[in-house]
Amino acid sequence: MSGELGSSSDLAYLHERWAASASVGRSAKGLRGRLRRIVARVVFSVLRQQLDEERELRAHLVRLSDALATRCDELTDAYEHLLVETDERYRQVASGLVETATTLDHHLGRSTDGVDV
């Protein structure tokens, strides 16, 4: 298949950003880092439920994107397979029509090169 969605850079970005969102701001040191942690604890205690719900929503969206990409890849594969099958069937029908026309011409006493028999 030509371009698989399942391995696209957009999906990779979604996965990286979703994973990174859990570890934001945990590496601060010193007095400034301690102050940030205290403020973060207060803010997170107030917003924890909403932030958890937001994270869960993003997790669902990433999983949905994965499922849609997989299904699109499957449909693309099926479409390409059908194109190959359809082309083969058209060739078979065209060959049959030529053979039928040749047989009819022969039975009707006509030559296929334009000269009557």
Please state whether the predicted TM-score (pTM) of the whole model is above 0.75.
Answer: no
Query: What is the pLDDT, as a whole number, of residue 3?
Result: 60
Which residues, including other chains, have CB under 8 Å from residue 55's CB and lie 6 or more apart? 21, 22
Q: Residue 17: pLDDT above 90?
A: no
Q: Over the stretch 57-98, which tens digit does the pLDDT of each residue have?
A: 988 998 999 999 999 999 999 999 999 999 999 999 999 999
Q: Over the stretch 27-47, which tens digit does the pLDDT of each residue have?
A: 667 888 888 888 988 988 888
Query: What is the pLDDT, as a whole number, of residue 108?
Result: 87
Cβ(74)–Cβ(5) under 8 Å? no
Higher pLDDT, 15 or 2: 15
> Rounded distance, CA 97 to CA 79, Å?
26
Stretch (H or E) spanning 47: helix 30-107
